[in-house]
Structure 1
Amino acid sequence: MDTFRRLQQNLFSGDDEEQQQEDDLLGEYQGLCNLSPIQRIYGFGACLAAGLVFMLLSLIAFVRPIKFALLFTFGNVAAVGSTTFLIGPTQQLKMMFDRVRVLATAIYGGFVLLALICALLIHNKLLTLIAIIIEICALAWYGLSYIPFARKFASDMFIRVFDTEI
C-alpha cells in the first residue's frame, strides 16, 4: 500500500528528477557528464587559458606558416569551445547556428579551414595572414552577437571612423 501512495504522490506532485534536470546547466546531458558547477568553471577557465596560450605562442611562430596556423587555429577553437563546459555541447551548437549568428559562424568556420589550407597545402604566408585576420574579424562579429545592440554600435562606429570624403 505504501508503494502505491508513493507512486501516486510522484505522479501528481511532479517528479523531483525533472526539477533537478531543469536546474542543471547541462539539462539533458546530466547522466553523460557528472561535472559539478565548480568543475565546469575550472574546465572553462583551463580551456580558455590553453586557447589563449596557444594563440600567443602562434605569434612567436609566425615566420613558419604551418606552425603559426596550427597553433593559432587550435587556440582559437579551444577558446571558442571553452563555453561548452558551461552550457553543454547541444546548447553551444544551437546558439552558434541561431538565425542571428549563422552567417558569422559559417564565415568563421570557413576561414579557419582556409587558414589551414593556406598554411598546410599552399605554404603562403600572406594568404595565411589574410585568412587569419578575416577569421579574427568573423569571431569578433560572432562574439558581438551575444551583446544586445553591440553589432549595430560596432557598425556605426566603423562607418564613422572609416567614412572619409576625398
Structure 2
Amino acid sequence: MDKLRRVLNGHEDEERGLTTQVLDSTSLSFGTRVKWFAVFFTLGIAFSILGSALLWVPGAGIKLFAVFYTLGNVAALTSTCFLMGPVKQLKKMFEPTRLIATVVMLLCLICTLCAVFWWQKKGLAFLFCILQFLAMTWYSISYIPFASDPSRRAHEQKRTNTDAIIKCFSSCLN
C-alpha cells in the first residue's frame, strides 16, 4: 500500500537507492521461501543418496559418487539461502564463530572434485568425501543456538557445544 501511495503522490522511489529497489523487487514471500527450501533440501538429500548408490557402479562409480555427493551438499547449503536470504547466509557463514568450519567445508567441496577430475585419485576423492561429511557436520553444529555465544569463555563454549550435541544424540537414541 505504501508503494501505491508513493507512486500516486509522485514520490516514486526517489528516496530509495538502487540496492533497496532491487532487493524489494526480488523478495520472496515466506511461503515461497519455505517451498524452495524444501525443494533444494530434498534435492540435496536425493543427490547424496544417489551418489552413495552410484559408488558401487563399476568403472566410474567413484566419480559419480563424488559429483553427486558434492552436488547434494551444495544443494543443501543453497536451501538455507531461501530461508534467510543469500546475503545474510554469506554473512553468517563467515562470522568468526564458524569461519574455520566454513573454510574447511568449502575446501573439502573443491578438493573432492579436484581429486576426481584433475588428480584422478580415487582413494583421495573418497577421503575428501569423508572430510566433506565431517566438515558439513561441523559447520551445521556451529548453528546450534546458544552453543557458540561469543560472550562466553572458550572452554565454556566447548563444554556447551559438546553438551548440546550429546543431549541431541542421546535423545535420538532413547
- Per the TM superposition, whether the score is higher than 0.5 is yes
TM-score normalised to the size of structure 2?
Answer: 0.69
2:114 and 2:52 mapped to 1: Cα distance?
19
Deviation at 1:31, TM superposition (A): 1.8
Higher alpha-carbon Rg:
1
Deviation (angstroms), 1:62: 1.1
1:152 and 2:150 aligned = no
Distance 1:126 1:28, change over 3 A: farther
Call closer, same or farther: CA 1:117–1:96 in 2, change over 3 Å. same
Among 134, 147, 152, the alignment partner of 1:137 is: 134
Alignment pair present for 1:76 and 2:69:
no
* Counterpart-to-counterpart distance in 2, 1:100 and 1:149: 10
CA distance in 2, matches of 1:155, 1:127: 30
Q: Percent sequence identity over matched residues?
A: 31
Note if contact 1:66-1:123 (Cα within 8 Å) is conserved in structure 2. Answer: no
Counterpart CA distance in 2 for 1:58 and 1:114 is 17
Residue equivalent to 1:60: 53
Q: How many residues align?
A: 136
Moved more, 43-52 or 141-150: 141-150
In 1, the alpha carbon distance for the partners of 2:22 and 2:52 equals 37
Does the Cα contact within 8 Å between 1:73 and 1:112 map onto a contact in 2?
yes
- Please give the residue correspondences for 1:47-126 in structure 2 after superposition, counting only pairs within 5 Å: 47-63=40-56, 64-126=61-123
Describe the superposition over 1:90-119 as per-residue Cα deviations: whole angstroms up to 9, x where unpaired.
000000000011101100111111100111
Of 87-96 and 139-148, deviating more is: 139-148
How large is the RMSD of aligned CA atoms in angstroms?
2.7
What corresponds to 1:11 in structure 2? none
Q: Deviations over 1:134-154 (max 9, x none)?
A: 111111111111113377256
By how many angstroms is 1:131 displaced? 0.5
Distance 1:38 1:132 in 2: 34
> For residues 24 and 67 of structure 2, what CA distance do their matches in structure 1 show?
34
Q: Which amino acid aligns with 1:152?
A: K
